[in-house]
Structure 1
Amino acid sequence: MARLNLLEETRFEKLPVSVYPDEHIASKTVAARIATLIKKKQEKGESAVLGLATGATPVEIYEELVRLHKEEGLSFQNVITFNLDEYYPMQPDAKQSYVRFMDENLFNHIDIKRENIHIPDGTLAKEDVANYCIEYENKIGELGGLDLQVLGIGRTGHIGFNEPGSAPNSGTRLVTLDDLTRRDASRDFGGKENVPTKAITMGIGTIFKAREIILMAWSRKKAPIIRKAVEGEISGNVPATYLQLSENVEFILDEDAASELTRFNTPWLVKDCVWDKQLIKKAVIWLSSEVKKPILKLTDEDYNNNGMAQLATDFGPAYNINIDVFNQLQHSITGWPGGKPNADDSQRPERKDPPQKRSLIFSPHPDDDVISMGGTFIRLVDQGHEVHVAYQTSGNTAVWDTDVLRYVEFAIDFNRSLGEDVAKLEATYEKMRRSLEDKQPNDIDLQEIQDVKAFIRKSEAFAGARFAGLKDKNIHFMALPFYETGKRKKNPVTEEDVKLTMELLQQIKPHQVFAAGDFADPHGTHIVCFRIILEALTRLRETEEWTKDCWLWMYRGAWQEFAIHEIEMSVPLSPQEVQRKRKAIFQHQSQKDRPVFPGDDEREFWVRAEERNRETAEAYDKLGLANYEAMEAFVRWKF
């Protein structure tokens, strides 16, 4: 019976999928399977031929394999590896090369024979590439093919660098990279313009011949393409869908990557559900969108015709369900994000007491506060609350080098106009200028340059907070140590990061904390900063009484918004408030027109924010609620 239930639940999935609670457990599972294969081959006196992938996805797998080697004696003497791909052209010692990646993450830490390592050669003359690719294929064939191929998946659906349009029988070859693939790689190269346009990749046909294929994906960012690969039609537009034709493939996902699969996203379509309040809310909002009707106009027939007959039977009639969900949404809307004094707060998202609250807004980067919740920020100040803002990181990697020179030139002229001796400043300027002229993509800036970039972001953050109405004493620039590496990869969080955060919380003793819950941030800073706040609050809750009355609200930034069914507080903005928010964002001049790290969204941050807030308001309107100009959304963290 359990087997039948599972088959029904996964009936939209066209290949085997295993879902784990998080990427750490999943990675250890994959590493254990690789280790088992290696040992079985050793027992038979045979080689284990592995196809390996690069990128963020397999990093923890390689860490676990290294641990198994060092702590449990797993030997790689009988292992032969073939990597999927390499950028072209690419020197093996370049920071972005996959040769360097594999050495740093795996090969330098195990006992594999160097002659058993095969990675496509990015240094070849172009006329030699075709023959090299044939030889690469032949080497795999001579060894009897790959025993196991591990794969990641790109957001274009590519496996290896087999981009949309790749043939299912393709072999190892030189390919042209998709623009989205290059945008995703741009941060590693210091800008998309520095990302190679081509790569050498193992072909889909080569991958298919492996006796076992494991495709891995972590994070919500990969969820849309995973759904296409698993449940979509086979198409050259999504090369990973070709894996549906293999009998030897398994997708291994964490819960976030699997979140858009039907059995998780709309489970009522594949099984009988245990209906709780949140699932009912999600289902009714989905139904309203599906049939394009406001919630209060949904009928029993709509429920029956769209996989929700069980809900209507158990909790109906439909109108009663509609009213309940409509009221939940209506009660989430408030013009009083700090609570409305002297009002019934039983149906409001925030408490009425105390009437004037201490509110602390944490901003991971120096502009996330105004981009993400600028309207609510201004509203809290206007309504008389004691508002503080804390900028967690300096943001000193996200300033154009030309801005640095411009600001230092200003400082020289200003000091000279005051009759000051500028010789030392001019000498520093020349040193900085020479460094920037010699700078290669992703080189670490001189400390003086990092400092100037931090000063620029700090001055803009102060300007934005002042525009929102804050006094300087309520503006806190934390510059947490974990961020201060001067490069893309940040240091691990330390006790000092948590300690600084705890001290600020103890100083303010806020009734409300607002923190970035936008974990789709492609650079990862948001989730790191959120975890620091969470750790600080968790520790303080053990000993300090004021924390029991401190609520933690999550907002989202420039990368995505909460789904409507998740939103617990939505703050409507008038057209005038949208304008004020825009002007607060404009104070961050170094991020305007063209930010250094825009992600894969070419719109300016203020445009993203306005359009996202407008889309939230339109979604409420379509559900049958009031039609506002824009809305900012929040979800409360439950300790």
Structure 2
Amino acid sequence: MIKEDINFKEAGRFEETRFEKIHNVIFDSSKEASLLVAQEIANLIQRKEELNEPCVLGLATGSSPIKVYEELVRMHKEEGLSFKNVVTFNLDEYYPMDKDNIQSYFYFMHEHLFNHVDIKAENINIPDGKVSAEELRQYCIDYDMKINSYGGLDFQLLGIGRTGHIGFNEPGSHVNSATRSITLDHITRVDAAPSFLGVDNVPRKAITMGIGTVKNAKRIVLLAWGISKADIVKETIEGEISSQVPATYLQEHSNTTFVLDTEASSELTRVKTPWLVKSCIWTDELKLKAVVWLSGLTNKPILKLTDKDYNDNGMSGLLAEEGTAYHLNIKMFNTLQHTITGWPGGKPNADDTYRPERSTPAKKRVIIFSPHPDDDVISMGGTFDRLVEQGHEVHIAYQTSGNIAVSNDEALKFAEVSTVLNSASTESDSIIDFLKNKSENDIDSVAVRKLKGLIRRSESLGATRYMGVPDENVHFLDLPFYETGTVKKGNLTDADIAIMCNLIEEVKPHQIYAAGDLADPHGTHKVCLDSLFEALKRLKSKSFMDDCWVWLYRGAWHEWETYEIEMAVPMSPDQVLKKRYAIFYHQSQKDGVMFQGDDSREFWVRAEDRNRATAKKYNDLGLAEYAAIEAFKRYHF
């Protein structure tokens, strides 16, 4: 039974299907969803206050609930929401872990919520990461007993890990498990690695509420954002209950809602293949998606699909609308074929009716926005090369310094070289002293951040010169939101937007390329894309914007689905090599990069494998065979 005061069915996209075993609601953005979840929590707090009862909340950490906590803080400060009757129990904590460590969940919760509201300190309960090993078992028993003394949890907020863990209940956890210590799965530690500046620094153990403890909550809301959660969300909602995916135990809870954004929901049957669930309104986009899916399912090129293939796989409605497989196949084949172009800036003096880009003006002004100082060549190095080679005025804009991704050892090496070259440099000496004595909780000094930023700036200039771009067309924006010295970044501000607007107004581009990959492991791509979207919104009325097209590329983590691609730029074997060599200029990000994510391959290997895979998908659909393809989707602002 879903709470009456928050109608998720009306607020998001909900549709019960035979595939789904957990109630879930899909929102266009995680922000919109987070505001609604925060409102439900606020309503519960106020209702309990009216009854003069404590409101007992189970709380989660990680990136998923941050916007929920921000909204609760706003409601406290602006609307008078009081937390005096709130008692909280956090799900988990690393073990061992000091409370004052910036990676601790104790620190996280105080930074994001507790320090900003009027909750009583004695009502805050977070597992103690420093309890002795001898006392740990009894401590965990006492933690559960304290929850029970309040009558259990009124509301439990959850995230979900890629292993299907809730809290730190890793695969193998028992349905009746209680609060306990647990050894963390390797994937969980890899996912946490960016915050700890490397997987080797992530603790191997944790204290976590058990599945049984969580399931006893009266109400459970699980948040999942981003494409990286899509597979595990589908498995949890549609799969069988299994200890190997602990979140599936929530299928047995009668008052659970999964709150998803579009990306996290993308693998659900009703989203990915809606024709298997209900009758569809067959838009051109949905037709292409369905035909590409059917081609992959049957392992046939598009032009070889038959009426029987459509009828046998739940697509008879589409066939009835189109007439025959023959006509539908040709139509979809042509749609895909028209995405392919060797002229990403448009082919001069050519009929552009069926080309992805305009033929005029023949020479375009282009800005390639790169969130970090290597995303440009990793994500679109071949297209970059084509644009320069074909005579367009190409500008590269590095939105952040990328300094946090430079290791201390790399920075120390450069500082020591600087000292040798300039023996009078006191700044180099201070940097060396700082790095040699740096503790795990120390934030880099301004001088160290400057050095790390210079390392990445020099690498970028090496790559852009190799690609044939003059230095005056290379822009280092150093957006302020990034310059915190920690993995956690600041919020986007007018200062960031103004920098973006100024460059766009200066160049007056006909084309903008930007990273549409929102699955990077530490969120910078999302903020950089938001900064562009806001800048475009502010500049929309300018006359030069009428002739500006925006193309989104994906980064090192995921590629566009074939049916989403609107411009596919083939690469020759020579261009593949040139792209590789351009990536090699970013030496600080090679051989043990700090933010590797869940993929152990180096970025140049990932890029080549991904580009080859895209080319293979086109070939499997019956289109021409290329060595590699870079893909883009147009953004209409």
Q: TM-score range by the shorter chain?
A: over 0.9
1:85 matched to 2:92? The reply is: yes
- Give the secondary-structure state (helix, strand or coil) at the position aligned to 2:513: strand
The correspondence of residues 175-214 of structure 1 with structure 2, limited to 5 A, is: 175-214=182-221
Distance in 2 (CA, whole Å) between partners of 1:339 and 1:481 is 35
SS at match of 2:631: strand
Give the CA deviation at 1:442.
5.2
Q: 8 Å contact 1:51–1:82 — kept in the other structure? A: yes
Instruction: Show the counterpart of 1:448.
Output: 447
2:482 corresponds in structure 1 to: 483
Percent of paired sites with the same residue: 58
SS at match of 1:19: strand
Structure 2 CA distance, aligned partners of 1:191 and 1:397?
12
Instruction: Choose 116-125 or 297-306, whichever is displaced more.
Output: 116-125
Choose the corresponding residue for 1:549, options 533, 547, 550. Answer: 547
- Tell me the residue number matched to 2:459: 460
Deviates more, 1:283-292 or 1:256-265: 256-265
TM-score by length of 2: 0.95
Residue type of the partner of 2:296?
Answer: S
Cα distance between partner residues in 1 of 2:509 and 2:50: 62
Q: Deviations over 1:356-381 (max 9, x none)?
A: 22222111111111111111111111
Amino acid at match of 1:228: E
**In the alignment, is the contact (CA less than 8 A) between 1:515 and 1:554 conserved in 2?**
yes
**1:223-277 C-alpha deviation (Å, 9 max, x unpaired):** 2211111011111111001111222222122233222211111111101111111
Q: Give the letter for the 2:253 counterpart.
A: S
The offset of 1:8, in angstroms, is 7.5
Q: What amino acid sits opposite 2:300 in the alignment?
A: K
Distance 1:478 1:55 in 2: 29
CA change 1:145–1:574 in 2 (3 A) is: same
Q: Does 1:238 align with 2:238?
A: no
Rate the CA distance shift 1:67–1:406 in 2: closer, same or farther, 3 A.
closer
Q: 2:36, 2:224 → 1: CA distance?
A: 13
| 369-378 or 443-452, larger mean C-alpha shift | 443-452
Segment drifting more, 149-158 vs 432-441: 432-441
Q: 1:290 to 1:539 in 2, by over 3 A?
A: same
Match of 1:113 in 2: 120
Q: What's 2:601 paired with?
A: 603
Distance in 2 separating the partners of 1:428 and 1:259: 50
For the 8 Å contact 1:53–1:160, the answer to whether it is kept is yes
Q: Output one character per residue of 1:581-623: Cα deviation in whole Å (capped at 9) or x when no partner.
A: 1111111111111212112211111001000000000100111
**Structure 2 residue aligned with 1:627:** 625
Q: Which residue of 2 aligns with 1:517?
A: 516
How far does residue 117 in structure 1 lie from its aligned partner after superposition?
A: 2.2
| CA shift for structure 1 position 200 | 0.7
1:530 alignment partner in structure 2: 529
Write the distance in 1 (CA, Å) between the matches of 2:296 and 2:341. 23
1:380 is aligned with what amino acid?
Answer: L
The one-letter code of the counterpart of 1:608 is R
Question: What one-letter code is carried by the residue in structure 2 that aligns with 1:237?
Answer: Q
Stretches of structure 2 lacking an aligned partner (at least 5 in a row): 1-8
How far 1:49 sits from its partner (Å)? 2.1
Map 1:494-505 to 2 at 5 A: 494-505=493-504
304-313 vs 525-534, which moves further: 525-534
Aligned to 1:563: 561
Would the aligned equivalents of 1:51 and 1:149 in 2 still touch at CA under 8 Å? yes
Which of 306, 319, 332 is 2:326 aligned to? 319
Equivalent-residue separation in structure 2 for 1:479 and 1:200 (angstroms) = 39
Q: Does structure 1 conserve the Cα–Cα contact (< 8 Å) formed by 2:498 and 2:535?
A: yes
C-alpha distance in 1 between matches for 2:271 and 2:355: 30
- Aligned pair in 2 of structure 1 residues 304, 350: CA closer, same or farther (>3 Å)? same
Query: Could you say what secondary structure the match of 1:397 adopts?
Result: helix
Which of the residues 139, 142, 145 maps onto 2:152?
Answer: 145
In structure 2, the CA distance between the partners of 1:575 and 1:223, relative to structure 1 (3 Å rule), is same
TM-score under structure 1 length normalisation = 0.94
Q: Separation in 1 of the partners of 2:497 and 2:217?
A: 47
Structure 1 residue 344, shift from structure 2 partner: 1.3
Please tell me whether residue 31 in structure 1 is matched to residue 30 in structure 2: no
Contact preservation (8 Å) 2:348, 2:360: yes
State the match for 2:539 in structure 1: 540
Deviation at 1:194, TM superposition (A): 1.4
1:41 to partner: Cα distance = 2.8
Matched, 1:56 2:55: no
Runs (4+) of structure 1 exceeding 6 A deviation are none
Match of 2:405 in 1: 398
**Distance in 1 separating the partners of 2:351 and 2:176:** 67
* Equivalence for 1:335: 342
8 A contact 2:101–2:441 mirrored in 1: no
The equivalences for 1:165-314 within 5 A come to 165-314=172-321
The Cα offsets for residues 54-91 of structure 1, whole Å up to 9 and x where unpaired, read as 22222222233333333333333332222111111111
Q: Secondary structure at the match of 1:393?
A: coil
| Letter of the 2:237 counterpart | V
What letter corresponds to residue 235 of structure 1 in structure 2? S
| Distance verdict in 2 for CA 1:406–1:49, change over 3 Å | closer
Return the alpha-carbon distance in structure 2 between the equivalents of residues 604 and 377 of structure 1. Answer: 20
- AA paired with 1:83? N
The separation in 2 between residues aligned to 1:494 and 1:68, in whole angstroms, is 21
User: Tell me, what secondary structure is at the counterpart of 2:89?
Assistant: strand
RMSD of the TM alignment (CA)? Answer: 1.8
Contact 1:443 1:487 in 2 (8 A): no
- 1:115-154 per-residue CA deviation (whole Å, 9 max, x = no partner) reads 2222111111111111111111222223322222221111
Secondary structure of 1:485's match?
Answer: coil
Q: Give the AA of the match of 1:487.
A: T
Cα-to-partner distance string for 1:550-588 (whole Å, 9 max, x where unaligned)? 111111111111110010110111111111111111111
CA contact under 8 A between 1:8 and 1:271: conserved in structure 2?
Answer: no
Conserved 8 A contact 1:9-1:271? no
Give deviations 1:21-44, integer Å, cap 9, x for gaps.
322232222222223333333333
Native 8 Å contact 2:14 2:24 kept in 1: no
Q: CA deviation at 1:9?
A: 5.0
1:40 aligns with 47
One-letter amino acid matched to 1:93: D
Q: 1:399 to 1:67 in 2, by over 3 A?
A: closer
Which stretch shifts more, 83-92 or 216-225? 216-225
Of 570, 574, 577, the match for 2:575:
577
1:135 matched to 2:134: no
How far apart are the structure 2 equivalents of 1:371 and 1:364?
12
Match of 2:613 among 615, 619, 631: 615
